[in-house]
Chains A and B, each alone.
Chain A
Amino acid sequence: DARVTQTPRHKVTEMGQEVTMRCQPILGHNTVFWYRQTMMQGLELLAYFRNRAPLDDSGMPKDRFSAEMPDATLATLKIQPSEPRDSAVYFCASGPPGLAGRTQYFGPGTRLTVL
């Protein structure tokens, strides 16, 4: 049963520290998304990649957030420096070629708390 995996599942850190979240998409999926979920805003798209190329990161605060796909099996989302308002659940999702606009599978999320 193919799944998107994310690490770490939980992260507690102090303000100002760097946070790196990792995602392994489902094998064969060529589109990877990063979403953030908070009680206030709900689920928001931060950025996405197709064939490892960044296509849209307009939802991401540029000054502190960065997203990369060093290879087809790994996507990373980094926050530096982290702030308390970054506390949220960060979900990675992947989609198959040609269908990613319609079919996305979510990972279990990284629950981030910034103190």
Chain B
Amino acid sequence: QKEVEQDPGPLSVPEGAIVSLNCTYSNSAFQYFMWYRQYSRKGPELLMYTYSSGNKEDGRFTAQVDKSSKYISLFIRDSQPSDSATYLCAMTRGSTLGRLYFGRGTQLTVWP
């Protein structure tokens, strides 16, 4: 069993929809949780970063962490075609300076 599980999709939604992306993990030592967005042939771009459990909002994006369930989510409101990309969840143990453990990535397409 992989330490971080993420449904690769693909996920296709109409413009304006609310998108929900999720990851589960098995290691309770994970403390820092990140969501990255990756466009084709580009490096991952940091979207959201949270520590421990709770919610964090930034514009149209909301990240949720439920450590009791070992479950993290990213919500995208009012999705736009420019949101079409692969979304990777990642997490680290103890410090963000350590190695990242990635999910497989979910490929999202938002159609006009």
A joins B in a complex = no
Residues on A close to B: CB < 8 A?
Answer: none
